[in-house]
Amino acid sequence: MERLTVNDLNKVYYDPWELCGMDNYCKRGCYEEDGCTKGCHILKMYRKLTEYEDLEEQGKLLKLPCAVGDTVYTIHNVKRKGQISKEIWENVVTSFNVERDCDWNISFEHVEPSGLICPNYCEFKHIGSYVFLTKSAAEQALKEMEGKNGN
């Protein structure tokens, strides 16, 4: 992603009008020495964005596909009364992990009606193939599977 900020904040001249357009209204000292330094929200946002861009360049910024506690959906083969069918299971995200090979995993668990907890995980790259972030995406994938199998 293209940087929106410069790496060295000390080399940036903050022209308040150029940054926020509020120089005629802002009473926070925009025209004093060092420019917009008295709590200007634009400068604070710029510094935070710079921090995020630095982390992204260092490979330390990760956008997670969901949060711990969110629901994800999986499709499972289930045998009931001698028949095998596919069902969509709701699962709760429990954690995120990184493996030695640098693959990120999402851990989740499904609670059976009996109370049995079924833990599972998948790599991020498999989200959308057998783990889904929305029920509608899982339902669509199930329809496609059934269409391919002629069921």
Alpha-carbon torsion (74, 79, 84, 85), positive or negative: negative
Nearest to 7 by CA among 64, 61, 49, 65: 49
SS3 state of residue 139: helix
Q: How confident is the model at residue 26 (pLDDT cuts 50, 70, 90)?
A: low
Distance CA(40)–CA(35), nearest Å, equals 10
- At 100 the pLDDT is 75
- CA distance to 17, 33, 74, 87, 148, per residue, from 79 (Å): 67, 74, 16, 10, 20
Who contacts 69 (Cβ-Cβ below 8 Å, separation ≥6)?
Answer: 92, 93
- The predicted-structure confidence for 46-73, as pLDDT tens digits, reads as follows 778 888 888 988 888 888 899 999 999 9
- At 8 the pLDDT is 59
SS3 state of residue 11: helix
- The predicted-structure confidence for 89-148, as pLDDT tens digits, reads as follows 999 999 999 877 768 899 999 998 888 999 999 998 889 988 999 999 999 999 998 887
DSSP 41-95: HHHHHHHHHHHHHHHHHTT-----SS-TT-EEEEEEEEEETTEEEEEEEEEEEEE
- Tokens coding 34: 């060092």
Q: How confident is the model at residue 15 (pLDDT cuts 50, 70, 90)?
A: low
Do the Cβ atoms of 40 and 16 come closer than 8 Å? yes
Who contacts 15 (Cβ-Cβ below 8 Å, separation ≥6)?
Answer: 35
